[in-house]
Amino acid sequence: MDSGIDIIRDDLREIAARAQTDIEFFDGKRVLVTGGAGFLMSYLVDLLAARAAATRHPPEVVVVDTYTAASSARLAHLTSHPQVSVREIDASTIEIDEPFDVVVHGASIASPVLYRRMPLRTLEVNALGTLALLRAFEKRRLDAFVVLSTSEVYGDPEPGDVPTPETYAGRVSFTGPRACYDESKRFAETLATTYFRSYGTPVRIVRPFNVYGPGLRPDDGRVVPDLAEAARRGDDLVLHSDGTPKRSFCYVTDFIVSFLRVVVRGQDGEAYNVGDDREEISMLELAERIRRVAKRPGRVIVQPSADSEYLVDNPQRRCPELSKLRELGGDMPRVSLEEGLARYVGWLAAEAGDAR
Ligand SMILES: NC(=O)c1ccc[n+]([C@@H]2O[C@H](COP(=O)([O-])OP(=O)(O)OC[C@H]3O[C@@H](n4cnc5c(N)ncnc54)[C@H](O)[C@@H]3O)[C@@H](O)[C@H]2O)c1
């Protein structure tokens, strides 16, 4: 059976083949990646590390992470990589006195379980972290300053606003239990666009829509790992809603291909939805699809969460409008939900050491 890292390597090969020219953009550049040990940004770090071995003008990557939501094991294979350094630094209070060409602010507390447990740390990394990074490059030249925002900036759109375009202003609670995440991401976007207007900072904002795949930890608390891990173990798949809320899920390779396009070809000061618009499915349907790809699936059951505020401000629907991303040209999402879920469940099984 493939190990977990082998499954990630297959994904990385797929991304490299699909996004070759965008990856070349990083040649010879110094890149700062906050949250670089996390699910999404570790793919970027791995891609740049691999690129470094393939060119005479290698990118150099500095990763900053507190391991609040990641394991140091994720990037352990890069410990002695000549072009990658990994530093345990809090992005909320970061001070930078060295030059970079590209900054990617991916650090955040994105797991709903964690941000409910650490609301102030969540506010800090999204708001103060973004401010600290923008300030550090106020008067310095940069090729790109990338902010990982979220589709949660849209809150709970009315049905007429789904699929949701970037121009939608959002229907978001700013005091509810999820506001520490949603509202601080909105503030991060306000900071970034204001720095673009004030200092010309080459800001590109990425709004990911429900990305999943290898590296998304089984205890993360988002719906795909919750259900997929239960299915892998042969436990019941527990829905904490009535199963009707809908989402559009994007496999990680499709996400990174689109993400790179925004970093390289996106316009300064602009925000881009990044996700998969091909299907919007209910949580009940998601659970059924996961059952189909798992080897020992349990039953799907509905059971209210022990957390009485679990569903407060939970959006009913989430689907991206992707015309703006399409206008940048290039490859759009192509991994089907079945294929992506199978790869993810395979990764969970490999990490857990399940027999084939
Ligand atoms: N995966 C998705 O579907 C999704 C959706 C919307 C937005 N996003 C955003 O994309 C980014 C990456 O998300 P992810 O899914 O990889 O989550 P993740 O939790 O795996 O990664 C976030 C990383 O940031 C680190 N971190 C947290 N606080 C930090 C701090 N103060 N200083 C330095 N590092 C810190 C964590 O340890 C973790 O490694 C986040 O900004 C997230 O909000 C992701």
Q: Which tokens go with 72?
A: 């140091």
> What pLDDT, on a 0 to 100 scale, did the predictor assign at position 258?
98
Is the CB of 215 within 6 Å of ligand 1? no
Any idea of the CA torsion for 51, 56, 57, 62, to the nearest 10 degrees? 50
DSSP state of 89: -
**181 a catalytic residue:** yes
**Could you write out the DSSP letters of every residue in 162-183?**
-SBPTT---B--SSSTTHHHHH
Edge-to-edge order in the sheet of strand 144-148:
84-87, 60-64, 30-34, 102-105, 144-148, 203-208, 270-274
14-31 confidence digits (pLDDT tens): 999 999 999 999 999 999
At the top level of CATH, the class of 4-214+249-279+315-335 is alpha beta
Is the Cβ atom of 347 under 6 angstroms away from ligand 1? no
Q: What is the mean pLDDT of the chain?
A: 96
Closest CA to 130 of 63, 197, 34, 200: 34
Catalytic residue among 181, 195, 272, 344: 181
Distance CA 301, CA 345 (A): 20
Provide, rounded to the nearest whole percent, the portion of the chain with pLDDT above 70: 99
Instruction: Convert the pLDDT of each residue in 75-133 to its tens digit.
Output: 999 999 999 999 999 999 999 999 999 999 999 999 999 999 999 999 999 999 999 99
Structure tokens at 21: 């020219």
Question: How much is the pLDDT for 1?
Answer: 66
**What is the mean predicted confidence (pLDDT) over 309-330?**
93
For the beta carbon of residue 135, count every other beta carbon within 10 angstroms. 15
User: How confident is the model over 40-72, as pLDDT tens digits?
Assistant: 999 999 999 999 999 999 999 999 999 999 999
Contact 348, 218 (CB under 8 A): yes
Model confidence pLDDT, tens digit, residues 272-290 = 999 999 999 999 999 999 9
311: confidence class by pLDDT, cuts 50, 70, 90: confident
Residue 39, ligand 1, Cβ within 6 A: yes
In this model, does residue 356 exceed pLDDT 70? Answer: no
Protein residue whose Cα sits closest to atom 39 of ligand 1? 38
Check pocket membership of 94 for ligand 1, CB cut-off 6 A.
no
Calculate the dihedral angle through the C-alpha atoms of 326, 327, 329, 334, rounding to the nearest 10 degrees: 0
Top-confidence residue, 225 or 303: 225
Predicted local confidence at residue 312, as pLDDT? 86
pLDDT over 90, % of the chain = 92
**pLDDT given for residue 3 in this prediction:** 86
Average pLDDT over residues 140-145: 96
Query: pLDDT (tens digit, 9 = 90+) per residue, 176-208?
Result: 999 999 999 999 999 999 999 999 999 999 999
Q: How confident is the model at residue 230 (pLDDT cuts 50, 70, 90)?
A: very high
- In terms of phi and psi (left: phi > 0; alpha: psi -120 to 50; beta: otherwise), the region of 353 is left
Integer Cα distance of 320 and 94 in angstroms: 32
Residue 140 Cα to ligand 1 midpoint, Å, equals: 26
